[in-house]
Amino acid sequence: MPKQVDHQERRETIARALWRVVERRGARHLTLREVAQEAGISLGQLQHYFGSRAELLGFAMDLAGEQSGRRVERALAELGERPHPRAVLRALLVELLPLHADSRVTSRMSAAYVLEALHDEEVRARARSGLLQGRGTVEQVVRQAIADGLIGADRDPVVETDLLLALTGFTTLLELSVVGPEAALTAVDRHLDGLFAGEGGSAVR
């Protein structure tokens, strides 16, 4: 009997081929033909699953985001049943920085997706929705930490969330070797130490 094709698996295979192309050459001149060649299939086969470059980029970005989410979940699980919010925020920030092979893939896919979003309203709306969701998660942790007295009550949760997310700006500096991983992590830890300085105890790492 002919082998049954797992369509989701095939779509993920194509998305990973796109990741490899972006990793090597970036996404500026990315074509469906190039991705098909990397995936070892014909252009027609690829177009059976993805009708446009934007559709493929969207799926590849969603897949990268799902994998990133699973890595965050594992990192949070390792913190125990009731992790300190400082440790939670650190885990979230560290995963957003290109500090290992998997997060570098996600980081570069995000950069490619943002460039696409600047010229495509549909991609822009999708990218914005994902970023707002991630921002909401960080703000929720900050608000709860303020309510629990772990962050000073005089802190504005919106501003503090924005400042935390600004630390993801280290992505560009890391990718271009302007700063190293140790320096980026030191800055993240210093900021978190200052944020939680009012809780009256030593920083939890």
What is d(CA 156, CA 37) in angstroms, rounded to the nearest whole number? 50
For the chain, list residues with pLDDT below 70. Answer: 1-5, 28, 198-205
Domain presence at residue 1: no
Range of the domain at 71: 53-199
Domain presence at residue 13: no
**pTM to 2 decimals?**
0.81
Domain presence at residue 145: yes
146: domain CATH number is: 1.10.357.10
Burial bucket for residue 17 (CB in 10 Å: 0-12, 13-18, 19+): buried
pLDDT in tens, 48-81: 999 888 889 889 888 888 888 888 889 889 998 8
Domain presence at residue 39: no
CA distances, 101 to each of 42, 107, 118, 147 (Å): 28, 10, 26, 37
Domain presence at residue 97: yes
| Domains in the chain, number | 1
Domain presence at residue 114: yes
Domain presence at residue 12: no
Domain presence at residue 6: no
pLDDT in tens, 90-106: 999 998 899 988 888 88
